[in-house]
Amino acid sequence: VHGVLSNIAWVLYEHITTFGEEVELFWSRKTGAAVLFLMNRYLTLFYAATRLVCAHNNVCRSPVVPHPATRKLTQVLVVIMP
């Protein structure tokens, strides 16, 4: 549980301290890089929140396994991005 809490604290800290830069650099742009950045940023936050719920309610007995579609998307992104 402590590992999950420290992970979530780090993710929240990073989101809070870099939010201004995120708005300035990515919110006004409609590029593929901006979309990938924002997806990665907020999927990480969502993952951290789900881990907190799992740890708090003790419902996840094993690590969260990504959905097969998520794994496939990651494989595609690794191939197309240099």
Whole-number average pLDDT of the chain? 75
Alpha-carbon Rg for the chain, nearest whole angstrom, is 15
Q: How confident is the model at residue 53, as a pLDDT?
A: 73
Model's pTM, two decimal places?
0.54
Whether 51 and 1 have beta carbons less than 8 Å apart is answered as no
With a CB cutoff of 8 Å and minimum separation 6, the contacts of 50 are 64
Helix spans in 2-82 (H): 2-17, 19-22, 32-57, 68-80
Within 10 Å of residue 51's Cβ, how many Cβ atoms? 19
